[in-house]
Amino acid sequence: MSRFVVIGDGAWGQALARRIAANGATVRLVGLQASRKRFGAGVSHTTDLAMALAEHEAVLVAVPVDALEALLRSAAPHFEGHHRVATTARGLAPGDVPRRASELLHALTCVRQTAVLAGAADAAALAADEPAALVVGSAFPAWAQELQTALAGPMLRVYTNPDPIGVELANALASVMTVALGVARAMGAGAASEATALTRALAETERVVVKLGGQAGTAYGLAGLGVLADLVFRGDGDAFKAGADIAAGRLEAAVAHRELVAASHSLAARARAAGVRAPLLEAVRALFEGSLAAREAMTTLMSRTARAE
Amino acid sequence: MLTYLRPAMNAPIFQFNRHRGDIEREVVERTVAELARFGGVEPPRSFQLVLNDAAYREIDRLEHSVGANPEQLERWKRLARRLGRMTPDELRNEAMGLCAHYVEDVQGNFDKRVYNMATKVLPVGLGLLFKGTDLASGVQRLAELRALPGMDALRDLSQRIRIEGELPTIRRLAEKGTLVVVPTHSSNMDSIVLGWALMEAELPPVTYGAGKNLFSNPLIGYFMRNLGAYRVDRRLRHALYKEVLKTYSQVLLERGYHSLFFPGGTRSRSGKVERKLKLGLLGSALEATSERLQRGDERPIFIVPVTINYPLVLEAETLVEDFLREAGQARYIIEDDEFSKLGRVSHFAMKVMGLNTSMAIRFGTPLDVFGNPVGPDGQSLGPDGTVLRRERYLFRNGVPCADPGRDAEYTRSLGRAVSEAFLRETVVLPTQFAGWLMLERERRRAPSLDLFALLRTTSGEAHPFASVCEDAEWLRARLVTLESQGALRLDPGLRTGAIGDVLTEAVNTFGMYHLRPALERTDEGGILVGDPKLLYFYGNRLDAWAQDLQAALRAGGEGAR
């Protein structure tokens, strides 16, 4: 029988643990504080990370990206070569050089077998058994399949993708791009303008993904286009709402979504360092900063120098 | 006097000749077993396919090469005609016969007497070779020749070649396990110079595959043959031969022979530190580890990245020309470069002896086959310093588990670790420093030119020395910072010397060897670019940091204004 550790007992961690347990696996759910809550059949809660890692080899990390570094530092002594780890946080980990979760994992621990989980599914969708899809990005085929089997459900499709870098980046970029699309929608830009913005968002995602070491196709897969479409179609996610707040001049409400602000900063920084053109990323970063007004952003973006597609 | 007293060393290669037949049998057996699965089909079809591939490629090669042996061609043609009618046994025997033939051709030799002699006289021998004395008869006379006049200048080879890095650790690891030495590759001199460096550093000899063309130089050939080199015929491109080579190196590794291979695959044509590595033999190291583990043999394999840093590269002109020729048309094997001209080699060597700047051979932190650093006791260390149980990487649910997909990614990860080590352990020398800086200044004079146009022309106008010195200070300051962050290494003279002296040293060094000097001093004291291609070649050693250095140069210039 397969056995998993899920680190992080927030809504997302709980939803992942339940999903895996529903397929018959045993899951250790690790949290910072003891909990008497019942997490469902097959899921047992603990605060003892060392013990959980000594017992089980397959690990999902479900902590937000800004808590990742501290967690990995404390977990590092308990990891060994046989551990297989999937990270699930969207965005880049903050630092002098913002890093992807799997870069951080490689820099801080001895773990080699890594994977990233991304896609158009959140805790609520998973918990409510709504139709959704996830993608497992990993260069380790057996680990990717193990995760696919463990997570798949009647309403949850799970794909694998051998390009973890692309999956991780596309996933992070999609949420930032959604902010720009939220601005466009709230300003009543119209379907044609939104379509233009969407096309540009995808093209930019591809450029950044490729320049930072991923595959072009990944931008158009579930982690990129999939997430973008999910967020835009739903129109009620954080990123979309942040865009609406910016359009309405409610900057304070917009920057309350700290993870989005951080993602726009870190991704723009990585893109700049790599010398890749990323006007949408820069625009979102400037909008959050307040150094660019929404109206101005629309004009600049739509009136950039003409170039071939 | 040149007396080299060395501790008794215990390396498997000293017993090579005793196990020669044994090794040959194992290689043939394993190769044939592998070929039996060729093309994903069963024998006899698999043997038919592999023989057909060999015959087809050999006929094609022999028909298109000048001076090919007509009997050999006829033999392959006969085989191709008979393939369809051969019985399963005949097919298998034919494949086995060919494997045995190729193993014979590939197999090296190790002569302890030559090794002992070489440890004593190779420094002089290298000097001799460089001097271009009568080579064919040179070997027996090497010892006597030590007494010849002029040898004094050659004896201080060790002062012209600086060997640095984690030598005590690597010496200990050589006793605990098997070393796979992986150097950067910029010259045909590499394997010889490195062979000497291993002796000098009291590290055991290594076995390695060397292009067959290198054996044509009689003295070098003699040493290579008797010091553990095996022959790789790069003209043979068929699967059977490639499988023989792969199995041969694999078997030696599994038997604990310290090995050497150049992961860049070929000499760096551009002068850049190689980034794209050939993973084949790195993969063999993991495979051998896993094989050993299954036999309960826990002797580890250690990967030792090495950078070989030349102030002057023997074949610089040919290499950069080759690089600039359109991609894809690059000649893979250069048969007629500087290395085959003895006069040129000796000219080069004499010049190197006269240089103030030493070449540097730098041994980096050893790695395990998963890319983790290895400490002095042979233990693999995690990023947080914890000691790792290496075998756990091959485990799943408590037991060793075969997983080719996982192992392939481990090997890619090891490749990345080696390529990062190459950068960290690169020793920047004055010629590379000046090469990068001066080409950058030329580029700024003609910003609209693309690289190829830039390399075909020079601005023809001397750069004022004071202004070059100013830029050089900014550049050096940035390099010193990078060195303090562990990103690269600097030659001591470059790190602390007066900047004017560093530049003068570089100009003089270029002027001593290359037919057309890369840089020249004008009568007014300015620096004139003579050959931008050479600047490009030498400066490319800094290419990995180019963006960073350009920014530092710009910021420095702006700050000054």
pLDDT average, residue stretch A156-162: 95
pLDDT average, residue stretch B461-490: 96
CA torsion, points B414, B417, B418, B419, in degrees to nearest 10?
A: 120
A100, A166 Cβ separation under 8 angstroms: no
CA–CA gap between residue B278 and residue B354 (Å, rounded): 36
- Compare B313 and B477 and report the one with higher pLDDT: B477
Range of lowest pLDDT (B104-113, B164-173, B255-264): B104-113
The nearest CA of chain A is from the CA of B255 a distance in Å of 25
Q: How would you list the strands of the sheet with B207-211, edge to edge?
A: B161-165, B359-363, B301-309, B178-183, B259-260, B207-211, B229-232
Mark yes or no for CB contact A81/B403 under 8 Å: no
Q: What is the mean pLDDT of chain B?
A: 84
Mark whether A272 and A240 lie in a shared domain: yes
Mark whether A42 and A148 lie in a shared domain: yes
Listed residue (B414, B430, B411) closest to B422, CA to CA: B414
Mark yes or no for CB contact B383/A142 under 8 Å: no
| pLDDT score recorded for residue B139 | 40
Interface residues from chain A to B (CB-CB < 8 Å) = 57, 73, 76-77, 79-82, 107-110, 112-113, 139-143, 275
- For residue A204, what pLDDT band results from cuts at 50, 70 and 90? very high
Percent helix, strand, coil in chain A (nearest 5)? 55, 15, 30
| pLDDT score recorded for residue B131 | 37
Mark yes or no for CB contact B384/A76 under 8 Å: yes
Mark yes or no for CB contact B370/A140 under 8 Å: no
| pLDDT score recorded for residue A100 | 92
| pLDDT score recorded for residue B137 | 37
Report the percentage of chain B scoring pLDDT > 90: 51
Q: Which B positions 347-376 lie with beta carbon below 8 A of chain A?
A: 370-372
Q: Which residues contact B379 (CB under 8 A, 6 or more apart)?
A: B387, B388
Which residues on A lie below 8 Å from B388 (Cβ)? 80-81, 110
Q: What is the ipTM of this complex?
A: 0.89
Tell me how crowded residue B543 is: count the other CB atoms within 10 A of its CB: 16
Which residues on B lie below 8 Å from A107 (Cβ)? 383
Mark yes or no for CB contact A77/B393 under 8 Å: no
Report the percentage of chain A scoring pLDDT > 70: 96
CATH of the domain at A256: 1.10.1040.10
Beta bridge pairs of residue B309: B360
Residue where a domain stops, chosen among A129, A162, A195: A162
pLDDT exceeds 60 at position B284: yes
Mark yes or no for CB contact B384/A140 under 8 Å: no
Strands (E), B466-526: 489-490, 519-521
Q: Which residues contact B356 (CB under 8 A, 6 or more apart)?
A: B493, B505, B509
| pLDDT score recorded for residue B209 | 85
Tell me the residue range of the domain where A245 lies: 165-302
Residue where a domain stops, chosen among A162, A192, A222: A162
B420, B357 Cβ separation under 8 angstroms: no
Q: Which residues contact A269 (CB under 8 A, 6 or more apart)?
A: A97, A98
Q: Which B positions 404-423 lie with beta carbon below 8 A of chain A?
A: 405-406, 409-410, 412-413
Q: Please check whether residue A309 lies inside any domain of the structure.
A: no
| pLDDT score recorded for residue B144 | 46
Question: Which amino acid is it at B509?
Answer: T
CA–CA gap between residue B429 and residue B491 (Å, rounded): 5
| pLDDT score recorded for residue B145 | 43
Strands (E), B392-505: 395-396, 399-400, 427-428, 489-490
Q: Please check whether residue A110 lies inside any domain of the structure.
A: yes
Mark yes or no for CB contact A109/B390 under 8 Å: no
Residues in chain A, overall count? 309
Mark whether A129 and A196 lie in a shared domain: no
Mark whether A126 and A174 lie in a shared domain: no
Best mutation target, B372, B394, B397, to test chain A (most A CBs within 10 A): B397
Which residues on A lie below 8 Å from B406 (Cβ)? 113, 140-143
Q: Please check whether residue A195 lies inside any domain of the structure.
A: yes
Distance of CA A193 to the CA centre of its chain: 26
Domain count, chain A: 2
pLDDT exceeds 80 at position B252: yes
Best mutation target, B392, B399, B407, to test chain A (most A CBs within 10 A): B392
pLDDT average, residue stretch B322-333: 60
Closest-CA residue of A relative to B410 is A112
pLDDT exceeds 50 at position B149: no
Best mutation target, A55, A73, A82, to test chain B (most B CBs within 10 A): A82
Question: Which candidate from A57, A107, A142 shows the least CB-CB separation from B405?
Answer: A142
pLDDT exceeds 70 at position B156: no
Closest-CA residue of A relative to B395 is A82
Listed residue (A161, A149, A143) closest to A218, CA to CA: A161
CATH of the domain at A104: 3.40.50.720
| pLDDT score recorded for residue B342 | 59
Question: Which candidate from A82, A110, A275 shows the least CB-CB separation from B382?
Answer: A110
Mark yes or no for CB contact B382/A109 under 8 Å: yes
Mark whether A67 and A154 lie in a shared domain: yes
Which residues on A lie below 8 Å from B405 (Cβ)? 140-142
Question: Which candidate from B384, B391, B410 shows the least CB-CB separation from A112?
Answer: B410
Mark yes or no for CB contact A81/B383 under 8 Å: no
Closest-CA residue of B relative to A274 is B547
Mark whether A131 and A200 lie in a shared domain: no
| pLDDT score recorded for residue B119 | 63
Residue where a domain stops, chosen among A146, A162, A178: A162
Mark whether A8 and A66 lie in a shared domain: yes
Mark yes or no for CB contact B370/A112 under 8 Å: yes
Range of lowest pLDDT (A132-136, A259-263, B133-137, B349-353): B133-137
Q: Please check whether residue A140 lies inside any domain of the structure.
A: yes
Closest-CA residue of B relative to A141 is B405
Q: Please check whether residue A307 lies inside any domain of the structure.
A: no
| pLDDT score recorded for residue B147 | 46
Mark yes or no for CB contact B406/A140 under 8 Å: yes
| pLDDT score recorded for residue B339 | 66
Mark yes or no for CB contact A108/B394 under 8 Å: no
pLDDT exceeds 50 at position B308: yes
Mark yes or no for CB contact B370/A82 under 8 Å: no
CA torsion, points B396, B401, B404, B405, in degrees to nearest 10?
A: -10
Mark yes or no for CB contact A109/B372 under 8 Å: no
- Residue B544 C-beta-side C-alpha neighbours within 13 Å: 20
Residue in the block written with tokens 């004291």:
B525
Q: Which residues contact A284 (CB under 8 A, 6 or more apart)?
A: A176, A177, A179, A180, A264, A268
Mark whether A129 and A190 lie in a shared domain: no
CA–CA gap between residue B508 and residue A21 (Å, rounded): 72
Closest-CA residue of B relative to A110 is B382
Range of lowest pLDDT (A29-38, B141-150, B198-207): B141-150
The nearest CA of chain B is from the CA of A108 a distance in Å of 6
Mark whether A146 and A207 lie in a shared domain: no
The nearest CA of chain B is from the CA of A117 a distance in Å of 18
Mark whether A180 and A236 lie in a shared domain: yes
Mark yes or no for CB contact B409/A140 under 8 Å: yes
pLDDT average, residue stretch B37-47: 93
Mark whether A208 and A92 lie in a shared domain: no
Mark whether A47 and A123 lie in a shared domain: yes
A124, A132 Cβ separation under 8 angstroms: no
